[in-house]
Amino acid sequence: MCELLGLCFNKPIAPSISFIGFRQRGEVNRHGWGVAFYPDRSAQVIKEPINAGASELSNFLKDYKYMSSRILIAHVRHATVGSHTSMNTHPFQRELGGKDYVFAHNGNLIGNFRKELALGQYRPVGETDSEHAFCYLLERLRKRNLAVWGLADFQFLEKELREINRYGIFNCLLSDGEHLFAYRGFDEKRTLYLLNRVPPYGRVRLLDQDFSIDLGKRKDPKTFGFIVATRPLTDEAWIPFPSGRLLVFRNGKTVYSDTKMPKSVRDSPVG
């Protein structure tokens, strides 16, 4: 399976992210890694169709203060659909309405989704179910003529994500550079967790996971935000997403949540 990691903070942060899964768990093959972030309104996506733990580039980026961004999406791929090539490696990127969207998926779709989830202007470059789903989503948003995201748009997106979810296992992260959209599908085994980070925080204590993330020693006590991951990355109190729900974050706060989530998440507490 694949691993997702998403960050949404109120100020740009420059995290050190280590892709360590393979090194720790040699028995599990990893077929690619990728990261997307926003130096400004535009997205920068870097990916490689090779084992992340063995990548000199991912190792270089870990210590390079290049990924300064309020929003970041990272992905480790365990290929289920498509060859081990760059075009099949997440995150994917497209422009809509002058905004750079990026997308990463955990799961796999089956059945006749390529025909029934009809495409329009956006066409996959690679072979994956994931890129098809992304192109479908963007076409739906394009037809909505979205100018500014509001409650009705979040509900619309959630409905579309559930529509895709009918075809299989579907957890995903999406961003337009302003919002981080995180959806957990209906599959009970395919989890997604949330952590609200407020200063002070330093290096996290690792569990046995694919990612390690170090947010650095924040000197600014006003920097806060959320981390979303397939599984808890630390021994802190990560909050599981409810099934079939979308959560939306902006500027380090929750802007669309679920009544099943703790009040601390719904109210998007700050430090």
Interacting residue with a copy of itself among 28, 29, 39, 235 (CB under 8 A) = 39
Question: Nearest 5°: phi and psi at 187?
Answer: -70, 125
Helix (H, G, I), strand (E, B) or coil at 92: strand
Residue 144 binds a copy of itself (CB under 8 A): no
Using CB under 8 A as the binding rule, whether residue 123 contacts a copy of itself is answered as: yes
180 pairs with which residues across the strands?
A: 175, 249
Q: Which of 9, 33, 103, 122 binds a copy of itself (CB under 8 A)?
A: 122
- The token pair at 6 is 């998403």
Please say which residue, 90 or 218, places its beta carbon nearer to a copy of itself. 90
Instruction: Name the one range near a copy of itself by CB under 8 A: 41-49, 203-211, 223-231, 238-246.
Output: 41-49
Please identify, using beta-carbon distances, which residue of 1 and 57 lies nearer to a copy of itself.
57
3-class secondary-structure state, position 249: strand
Q: 135, 96 in Cβ contact below 8 A?
A: no
DSSP string for 98-117: TEEEEEEEEEEE-SSHHHHS
Amino acid at 142: R
Among 85, 159, 222, 235, binds a copy of itself (CB under 8 A): 85
Per CB under 8 A, which of residues 153..172 are in contact with a copy of itself? none
Query: Angle formed by the axes of helices 129-143 and 151-165, to 10°?
Result: 150
Structure tokens given for 104: 């990463």
d(CA 43, CA 262) in angstroms, rounded, equals 32
Contact status: 46 vs a copy of itself (CB under 8 A): yes
Is 86 a binder of a copy of itself (CB under 8 A)? yes
Does 217 interact with a copy of itself (rule: CB under 8 A)? no
Site for a copy of itself contains 143 (CB under 8 A): no
Tell me how far apart the terminal alpha carbons of the chain are, to the nearest angstrom. 34
Contact characters 51-70, a copy of itself, x per CB under 8 A? -----xx--x---x-x----
Whether a cis peptide bond, with omega within 30° of 0, leads into 91 is yes
Span near a copy of itself by CB under 8 A; candidates 83-91, 154-162, 197-205, 247-255: 83-91
Q: What DSSP state is assigned to residue 234?
A: S
Phi, psi dihedrals of residue 157, rounded to the nearest 5°: -65, -45
Q: For a copy of itself, give the closer residue by CB, 60 or 155.
A: 60
Smaller CB separation from a copy of itself, 130 or 234: 130
Q: Would you count residue 132 as binding a copy of itself (CB under 8 A)?
A: no
Looking at the annotation, which residues are catalytic?
2
Binding site for a copy of itself (CB under 8 A): 39-42, 44-49, 56-57, 60, 64, 66, 85-87, 93-95, 97-100, 121-126, 142
